[in-house]
Amino acid sequence: MMDKLEVIILKHLVYTEDYCRKVLPFIKPEYFETHEERVIFEEINSYVQGYQTPPPLNALAIECERRTDLSQDGFKNILDLLNQFTEERVDFDWLINTTEKWCKDRAVYLSLLESIKIADGKDKTRSRDAIPSILQEALGVCFDEHVGHDYIVDFESRYDFYHRKEEKIPFDLEFFNKITKGGLPAKTLNIALAGTGVGKSLFMCHVAASSLLQGKNVLYITLEMAEERIAERIDANLLNINIQNLTDLPKAMYESKIVKIAQRTVGKLIIKEYPTASAHSGHFKSLLNELALKKGFKPDIIFIDYLNICASERYRGNNAVNSYSYIKAIAEELRGLAVEANVPIVSATQTTRSGYGSTDVDLTDTSESFGLPATADLMFALISTEELESVNQILVKQLKNRYNDPTMNKRFIVGIDRAKMRLYDVDQGQQTLVDSGQIDEEPEQVFKSSRKNNFADFKV
């Protein structure tokens, strides 16, 4: 009679040490259907953890006999199972692949049971928002062989890494490309710091529009304004029309311009609104799963408008936590989301009251938590004064930069067209704030044409 698969797996955990070391970290007790099989697995796992070698059968039987959760009949069933354990030759690769498939199948089955329990309201600790992530985790079960970078053995892969061109999403603004060495890489959190009305949302809408024109998939999450208001700002940016005049545009002309944009890019822009302070990284993960399932949409870059009015998944419903820990937790969760989704995340934060009218904003002017700049990969301040406003310009000051030397081009000017929700490059001669390297270093021409002249190369 052929042994059932669970017995084959348990048997080789005892008799095939290489197999045991490879698969044991990925097998969970709940994958086994019967209580006796789970007990045997737990004792094998416990023995390996304690003695770094698979257990002999007699030791396994003794450890099972000591269990207090086994009846006399249960222990007899275990002895019957152990009597089936005999050394036999089996193809190692087949055994590994079969065990991996079994683990995945069991994980999916158990996750479906969990999901049904949540959907029926029998699980009071989790909401239905948790279901996509439970299923995704189960579908992601695999035997990952990578357990760390061996400095000596893995020198070739390290050398290749040094010479691999990192995928980035470039800006259409020369100095932003200079300070980031060509754009925003994946798995990063990038923060704009500004006072109310200075241009946080304008900056994010501009970069979102720019990313769309590059053929990127863009997800814009707003917790401050309605979806239609964000879309209105991006319309003004892309259609080259003052935001106040959008309502005067005939529908046929408006449709024609949107069609031309669709023909110009292969990317998509999705805008999703959440109530203020109600959504956290868990909701955003569920949104990503839902977009992938329903629309086949995977973002290349995510904008979150803005960080301070997100909720924390870690401190849900905890009113006792201080603002430092709370905002730092949100920043860490969003950066974790960027790593998990393999995208750059762009967000913003408010300045403090003292920093609101300051012409030289610093990291200490970050609202509510200094833990935010500690977590961000890039952080810069957007500063507006009456003098700059009179010439349609805004000052950018680097506060933290993991991509480049932040003392190079520490301050620079960009043009701002608030009516059309745009930023644009100004002439080099207008960069009157001289920092180390700012005058001598030539701008990187990531875009051969800038949007300085109202998208001269893009008319719709």
Residue 214 is predicted with a pLDDT of: 95
The model's confidence at residue 319, banded by pLDDT at 50, 70 and 90, is low
Residue 434 is predicted with a pLDDT of: 45
- The backbone region for 113, taken as left when phi is positive above 0, alpha when psi lies in -120 to 50, beta otherwise, is alpha
Closest CA to 41 of 72, 58, 20, 22: 20
> Domains in the chain, start-ordered, CATH in brackets?
5-139 (1.10.860.10), 168-430 (3.40.50.300)
Residue 222 is predicted with a pLDDT of: 95
Residue 444 is predicted with a pLDDT of: 40
pLDDT average, residue stretch 72-97: 90
What type of residue sits at position 347? S
Residue 2 is predicted with a pLDDT of: 53
Cis status of the peptide bond prior to 51, with omega within 30 of 0? no
The answer to whether residue 294 scores a pLDDT higher than 60 is yes
H or E element: which one contains 161? helix 155-163
How buried is residue 107: exposed, middle or buried, by Cβ count under 10 Å (0-12/13-18/19+)? buried
Q: What are the start-end ranges of the E strands in 331-404?
A: 344-350, 378-383, 393-401
What type of residue sits at position 151? Y
The model's confidence at residue 158, banded by pLDDT at 50, 70 and 90, is confident
User: Strand 344-350 and strand 188-194: pairing?
Assistant: parallel
Rounded to whole angstroms, what are the CA distances from 49 to 12, 53, 123?
17, 8, 33
CB 134 within 8 A of CB 111: yes
The answer to whether residue 10 scores a pLDDT higher than 80 is yes
What type of residue sits at position 374? A
Residues 6 or more apart from 77 whose CB is under 8 A from it?
36
**What is the distance between the alpha carbons of residues 163 and 320, in angstroms, rounded to a whole number?**
48
Rounded to whole angstroms, what are the CA distances from 32 to 203, 399, 454?
53, 53, 64
Residues 6 or more apart from 27 whose CB is under 8 A from it?
9, 41, 99, 103
Across 87-91, 135-139, 319-323, 342-346, the highest mean pLDDT is recorded for 342-346
Convert the pLDDT of each residue in 373-425 to its tens digit: 888 999 999 998 888 899 999 999 999 999 999 888 899 999 999 999 999 99
**What is the distance between the alpha carbons of residues 348 and 331, in angstroms, rounded to a whole number?**
11
